[in-house]
Amino acid sequence: MKENVVVIGGGASGLEASRRLRDLGYIPVLIEKDAVLGGHLAHWNRLFPQMIAAKDVLDPLISDLDGIKCFTSTEVVSINRLKDTYVVKFSNGLSAQVRCILVTTGFQLFPAQKKQEYGYGIYDRVITNADLENYFNTGKDERVMNPEVIGFVHCVGSRDEKAGNRQCSKVCCATAVKQAMEIKEKFPDAIVYCFYMDLRMFGRGYEDMYLKAQKEYGIRFLRGRVSEVSEDINGRLVVKADDTLLGKPVKISMDLLVLMSGIVAPEGNANLARMIKVLPGEDGFFSAANPVSDPCLSTRDGIFFAGAATGPKTLPETLSEGRAAAMEIDAYMKRNCRSKK
């Protein structure tokens, strides 16, 4: 008889892990709190650095769900230990008794309105990276109307002691460059600025994308934090920043400002941590037993992690950890079966 495995989170990592678990002979029970599967990937337009369509990655994941029990708009209500199994109850009234639980809860974006100096929610022409990605997908956003000057603010809520989020979000720099190139394609005559602290273009092809943004797209990169955003009498944004390379302040009038909201732990992690009895780290993300050699293992038997549940990840890393977690679960199941004989 095939065993069930509960997978909490229907984003890229949860979907990939579920498909691999099914192929290994298990019945994944995939729980997703949102109404649709795919997580953040479902709302993205193109992916850096090759600028491929996000749907080309997502479609194969969500079109291959035979043998997987998927429940959307569903949350975990309780998890209780019963000998060597876990009894997991869901908000839809169903429950499952399993030996393994895989946590793939992903991340959420820092709420940009908390950085009041940037004016999100105050000025109409200040939007977030998620808002802009939605515009790329739909072509509809009244705030994006033939802008002549556009700015991108990196690290909004990341590497920010005051915001309570010291870590780097890892993918924000590359996302900002990608979106700057995309908006330039939409509005070729626009002047586009990127305000950054430093550029962390660590992946293969990332640096090439950055150089292309400068040379072929004419994106202007200014090193320095934005200190204040206001609105002038004509309704244009006035952005003040310090250019740390030139050692002087700058003030630029703009028609659109995009805030690159950083990656933070989901609010639900704290409650889930109490259920699985695995404490999250100071940053709210879960901590693996050994982040170097065993990134998918928790400190508790039968509890596994994958993807951004343990911190900011790129999409390739997220998918890879989904596959690795499935293999770890399979090994755990077989090891326990042998020990009982």
**What SS3 string covers 130-178?**
HHHHHHHHHCCCCCCCCCCEEEEEEEECCCECCCCECCCCCCHHHHHHH
Alpha helix segments (H runs only) across the chain: 12-23, 54-62, 129-138, 172-186, 206-215, 269-276, 315-340
Both structure tokens of 236 = 């244009």
- The predicted pLDDT at position 133 comes to 97
Q: Pairing between strand 52-53 and 69-71?
A: unpaired
Both structure tokens of 297 = 């293992």
Q: Who's near 106: CB < 8 A, 6+ residues apart?
A: 9, 11, 13, 39, 40, 266, 307, 308, 309
- The predicted pLDDT at position 336 comes to 80
12-23 vs 315-340: helix crossing angle, rounded to 10: 40
- Give the number of residues written for the chain: 341
Low pLDDT (below 50) residues in the chain: none
Q: For the CA atoms of 269, 66, 296, 80, what is the dihedral angle to 10 degrees?
A: 50
Please give the Cα distance from 121 to 114 (Å, whole number): 10
H or E element that contains 96: strand 95-98
Q: What is the pLDDT of residues 143-197, one digit of tens each?
A: 998 999 999 999 999 988 888 888 899 999 999 999 999 999 999 999 999 999 9
Q: Which residue has the tokens 């630029």?
A: 252
Q: What is the pLDDT of residues 243-258, one digit of tens each?
A: 888 888 999 999 999 9
Residue type, 136: F
Q: Read off the DSSP letter of residue 294.
A: B
Residue type, 308: A
Claim: this prediction has a pTM higher than 0.75: yes
